[in-house]
Structure 1
Amino acid sequence: MAPTFALLVLSQLALYSSVTSKKVCGRPPITDGIDTLTLKRVYEVGEEVTLTCEQGYLPSTATPRRLTCSATGEWTQSDLACSPKMCPIPRPLQPLAMGRTEAPFKSVLNYTCDDGYVILGANESRCLHDGTWSNPPPLCKAVNCPLPKSPIDGRIVHDKPVTGTTTMYGRGWTYECNPPKAPSYERGSCMADGSVPEPPVCREVSCSIPSSIPNGFITFAVMRQHGYKEKVRYACNEHYTLDGEAEMQCQNTGNWSSKPVCRAPCKVGIKRGRIFYNAKKLWIADLKPNRVLHGEHVVFYCLNRADSCGYPVASTCNDGTLPIPECFEEPGKMEYTLRAKTLPSEITMCAASPSASPARAA
């Protein structure tokens, strides 16, 4: 029996080796966009496969590419590449697409509207396999609000004419009361949520007796309490400049609007030298009186020692203070009298001025 057993074992080994030595190929290597629905998991030697692109993708070659399972269990090479089809981005959206004019297959556009607007249409659109979008761009329509109610003892004045029973988001109006009453608030508008404010309360308002301002005066006013929207006008003393609104108005809060300020003139704080002021080049001794008004500009002349030329530097009068540029050097009495033509204001002007120098207070 022993020889028979050995022969049986040897025959089984031979059968096993003959079955397992046969080569096969797995699924061929694929890249994005290649159709995998018709591909098998295992292929025998000599079998062929034709690769194609999925719907929504374009092949890199005009003719189909066939792969063959070789005797080594490897596939022959294929140069097929599948690129997604493109959908043109709607022109109104291109500024938001950072210069892109197309989007690839399967891209999604999400649409939203600004506050105060409602979307009419789909809020999403997808790039389809045929290069078109699933939905057109929607429209954004302004929210509508009901017309506001007038205050008791008052009325509403709309910024723009209104027709119908609604008004659009952002449209505003002013509340007015019958004199001498004032509304608790003066403005209203159609809000983003489609609502309008409740009407204000009309009540009597008065402002305190107006007070004077330093270096100025009230041009005409009776020294009494003033009612809503009554006005007082101010002016400044000679050579002072009014800064702010000349008129002060009694507001619906019972307070006055801001009073103006009278800004002081400036003295040009040098004894010797030449300046440019009021479109004229003047020796400081010829500036009579020595006074420039608030907000006016005075040009001083500085010396560029490296290039032996002069350059202008401007300074501005600010409520009694006129800074002198740090680069300005006031000449001595002898230099000013005998060698005035050598001063920075009289020599050749530089082609370009150096960077601005800090100024010192006069």
Structure 2
Amino acid sequence: MLALFWVLDVKDFTSFNRMARIVALFLLCQILSPTTVTSKKVCGRPPVTDGIEESAIKRVYEVGETVTLTCGQGYNPSTSHATQRVTCTGTGEWTQSNLACSPKMCPIPRPLQPLAMGKTEAPFKTVLNYTCDSGYVMQGANESRCLHDGTWSSPPPMCKAVYCPLPKPPKDGRIVHEKTLTGNTVMYGQKWTYECNPPKAPSHEEGSCMADGTSTEPPVCRDVSCPIPGRIANGFITFAVMRQHSYKEKVKYACNEHYILHGEAEVKCQNSGTWSTKPVCRAPCAVGIKRGRIFYNGRKLWIADLKPNRVLHGEPVVFYCLNKTERCGYPVASICNDGTLPLPECFEEPGRMEYTLRPKTLPSEITMCAANSTSPADTTRST
């Protein structure tokens, strides 16, 4: 194996070290030599607010350049004394401008002002969209824009009512109109009734002029019958032959004693071959306390004096509760609902001894509370 050794004496090493320092210094001077370029300040786009014309503004400006700011189409300067020229300064900033531009206004058409929440004008670029109510046809443009000159691109349209041709009567039947007809058309929303020659029934009984300008198609007249009418709970049919019934025939219901009829007493055989909704007989209620005093039918009475213990459906019964803070009584009403009479949550039935020996201390017998002194939890207080 060969090796190469470079031996220097002390003198040679000192000279080499000095030379290295000179070379390093030279290189450093080359790096720091005056080759840098002095940067020149410029300005970017001048700041603009809404409405100022921007199409002619450049991205970069030299120091000393000026720009004249103007309001764009559809805008006016807010004041005639506004500073409109700005200059690029040596610091790269623009001089100040107080130019402000406000949009031109279009007068809102008078018929539309009630819909404009008190406004009488709308600013440039505002868009009005028009629609007509169902049953009306628009004549004109459905949109209008506020233009740069303060006018609208289109006038408000007109909404004209839809008319339908006269409806056709059913075969073996006729039409009964709600209003006397004039002319050969009917207006949107107008209704009529179809009738068939007895004993036939129309497949549908009503017609109308619809929003699309067409009339309801005439029904088909057909034979219809309803089954033998059924009975109702706690009630009866007042008079009827127990047979099938024809279209439009009626039967009448009534309730047993102390039951209240809820709904229409008469039911009718419909064109569908079914009866109209039968009524319901609502049950009376018993007052579910053994001791205490109530207010019922205009009288204040002890529960033992309510004979028989029965109130009818829909009738109110007043109970008496105690305001424990102020030691006064107050009335709370409950209503009989088909056999159920709920007791007020505040009501406390007195014990046998209290009821018998100290009845004058009960809430119904002591001083009644003032109107604003009832229990906070009471939400059903009766007056």
What interval of TM-score do these two structures reach, taking the shorter chain for normalisation? 0.7 to 0.9
1:53 to 68, 71, 74: 71
Q: Aligned pair 1:140/2:159, yes or no?
A: yes
Q: Aligned pair 1:328/2:328, yes or no?
A: no
Q: Aligned pair 1:69/2:87, yes or no?
A: yes
- Give the TM-score of the pair, scaled to structure 1: 0.83
Q: Aligned pair 1:197/2:216, yes or no?
A: yes
**2:323 maps to which residue?**
304
- Give the TM-score of the pair, scaled to structure 2: 0.79
Counting aligned pairs with the same residue, the percent is 77
Structure 1's 70 and 341: CA in aligned 2 closer, same or farther, altered over 3 A? same
Rounded to whole Å, the distance in 1 between the matches of 2:161 and 2:74 is 37
Q: Report deviation, 1:215.
A: 2.2
Q: Report deviation, 1:47.
A: 5.8
The 8 Å contact of residues 50 and 65 in structure 1, kept in 2 or not, is answered as: no
The 8 Å contact of residues 207 and 216 in structure 2, kept in 1 or not, is answered as: yes
More displaced 10-residue stretch of structure 1: 88-97 or 248-257: 88-97
Q: Where does structure 2 lack aligned partners over 5 or more consecutive residues?
A: 1-36
Structure 1's 132 and 345: CA in aligned 2 closer, same or farther, altered over 3 A? farther
Structure with more strand by fraction: 1
1:1-362 equivalent positions in 2, closer than 5 A = 28-36=46-54, 48-63=66-81, 65-69=83-87, 72=90, 74-90=93-109, 93=112, 102-351=121-370, 352=372, 353-354=374-375, 355-356=377-378
* SS of residue matched to 2:147: coil
Q: Report deviation, 1:75.
A: 3.7
Rounded to whole Å, the distance in 2 between the matches of 1:70 and 1:194 is 68
The 8 Å contact of residues 145 and 190 in structure 1, kept in 2 or not, is answered as: yes
Rounded to whole Å, the distance in 2 between the matches of 1:349 and 1:274 is 14
Rounded to whole Å, the distance in 1 between the matches of 2:323 and 2:41 is 92
Structure 1's 22 and 266: CA in aligned 2 closer, same or farther, altered over 3 A? closer
Rounded to whole Å, the distance in 1 between the matches of 2:194 and 2:179 is 14
The 8 Å contact of residues 294 and 303 in structure 2, kept in 1 or not, is answered as: yes
Structure 2 counterpart of 1:210, one-letter code: P
Rounded to whole Å, the distance in 1 between the matches of 2:275 and 2:89 is 100
The 8 Å contact of residues 170 and 218 in structure 2, kept in 1 or not, is answered as: yes
Q: Report deviation, 1:22.
A: 8.8
Rounded to whole Å, the distance in 1 between the matches of 2:65 and 2:300 is 100
Q: Report deviation, 1:40.
A: 6.7
Q: Where does structure 1 lack aligned partners over 5 or more consecutive residues?
A: 1-16
Rounded to whole Å, the distance in 2 between the matches of 1:246 and 1:162 is 35
* SS of residue matched to 2:238: strand
Q: Report deviation, 1:48.
A: 4.9
Rounded to whole Å, the distance in 1 between the matches of 2:54 and 2:119 is 31
More displaced 10-residue stretch of structure 1: 38-47 or 116-125: 38-47
Rounded to whole Å, the distance in 1 between the matches of 2:339 and 2:43 is 96
Structure 2 counterpart of 1:59, one-letter code: P
Rounded to whole Å, the distance in 2 between the matches of 1:66 and 1:147 is 69
Tell me which structure has the larger Cα radius of gyration.
2
More displaced 10-residue stretch of structure 1: 348-357 or 117-126: 348-357
Instruction: String of CA shifts for 1:127-164, please: whole Å, max 9, x gaps.
Output: 12233322232222232222211001111112233322
Structure 2 counterpart of 1:158, one-letter code: H
